[in-house]
Amino acid sequence: MIHVPVELGDRRYEVLVGDGARGELPRAVAERLPGARRAAVVTQASLTDQSWFRDVDPGLPFEVHTVADGEEQKTPETVEGLCRAFTRMGLSRADVVVAVGGGVVTDIAGFAAAVHHRGTAYVNLATSLLAQVDAAIGGKTGVNLPEGKNLMGAFWQPAAVLCDTQVLATLPPRELACGRGEMAKYAFLTGDRPDASLLDLPLDRQVAACVAIKARVVAADEREGGGRAVLNYGHTLAHALEAVSGYDLRHGEAVAVGLMYAALLARRLDRIDDARVDLHRRVVGAFDLPTELPPGADALALLSFMTRDKKAHQDLTFVLDGPKGVEVVRGVDPADALATLAEMGADR
């Protein structure tokens, strides 16, 4: 088992990565939350049918609460429903919520834990590649609003994170590709020349390498006051693509397209050259991910959603590559953003 610490002072916790990590759940709960007397396990009905799910045991009396599949379930109403269910089962602030699933589940369950009794501890048992390399780590929880993705939420750190690489074998290929979109992002955050060498490592090492990068960034800037925003590389357009209905893109696929858009925008702003753009295309392509906008993409609709991005401070803000590496760039001219969308084939 690989242990990766997230150093946050007295809220320090560890991410455990490895085959069968779910078996560490009772120990993690007992060590981190010795006062807990019961647990609420939040998952999806589709996961309870998996053979590995019967091994999920927090070592305490527990009830299972399911949310429906899909990004569209990330709503305030879903969180309200969970909190009401927690109350009915008598879950106290001293108890624990256990999120078992991918990024949708960890986002919803984490936010429900954050607001139940103004803060109940939670543990993530991440079962998708996307959750293991990104969503389950760092304490960003939340749900979507009609106006945009993840606009309602809270910073609420988990007590522990378990990344069970064994369960990844049950995922369909497209779900694995979704996780590789975040892995491609991390390839540009290493400080070295980006490449796809992550893919040459054993799966548990791939996950642990991404977790270690994110853990360092989160430890330096827990609440996204500055440097943590680089974790949103490729996400400004990605979130817009997800928010605008009608595009058949998963999150990781949208991030991959967003990485290419960010590279083209950076070139337009004279931050990088053609060779660096080509490097982005090669790296993203090596992860077997899309690099083009979906047909019929509406530039004005996408720009409207990008202006609502959480990084923005009354301006248009992106995370872009440049001479000093990937960094936050504020005050981007909307005309440049639109022109780059048009360069990628968007309708204007």
Same-domain check for residues 159 and 301? no
Same-domain check for residues 57 and 153? yes
For the chain, the domain total comes to 2
**Has residue 27 got a pLDDT over 70?**
yes
Domain contains 220:
no
Domain contains 186:
no
pLDDT at 167: 97
Same-domain check for residues 56 and 122? yes
Domain contains 191:
no
Same-domain check for residues 74 and 157? yes
Domain contains 195:
no
pLDDT at 100: 98
DSSP state of 270: T
Among 88, 137, 139, 75, residue whose Cα is nearest residue 116: 88
Look up the domain containing 122 and give its range.
Answer: 2-171
Mean per-residue pLDDT over the chain, rounded: 95
Q: Which of 107, 139, 171 is at the close of a domain?
A: 171
Domain contains 203:
no
Contact yes or no for 28/123 (Cβ under 8 A): yes
Among 136, 103, 104, residue whose Cα is nearest residue 122: 136
Domain contains 209:
no
Same-domain check for residues 331 and 239? yes
What are the tokens at 348? 């204007």
Same-domain check for residues 339 and 249? yes
pLDDT at 310: 64
pLDDT at 129: 97
Which is more confidently placed, 85 or 244? 85
The C-alpha atoms of residue 16 and residue 161 are separated, in whole angstroms, by 6
pLDDT at 201: 96
Q: Which residues contact 66 (CB under 8 A, 6 or more apart)?
A: 42, 43, 44, 45, 48
First to last CA, the chain: 51
Give the model confidence (pLDDT) of 186-208 as tens digits.
Answer: 999 987 789 999 999 999 999 99
Same-domain check for residues 119 and 263? no
Same-domain check for residues 114 and 17? yes
pLDDT at 282: 96
Confidence of residue 235 (pLDDT cuts 50, 70, 90): very high
Supply the CATH number for residue 97's domain.
3.40.50.1970
Domain contains 54:
yes
Length of the chain: 348
Same-domain check for residues 9 and 118? yes
Q: Give the catalytic positions in this structure.
A: 118, 140, 182, 214, 224, 228, 232, 235, 239, 251
Q: Model pTM?
A: 0.92
Domain contains 189:
no
Supply the CATH number for residue 333's domain.
1.20.1090.10
Q: Which of 137, 171, 205 is at the close of a domain?
A: 171
Same-domain check for residues 145 and 268? no
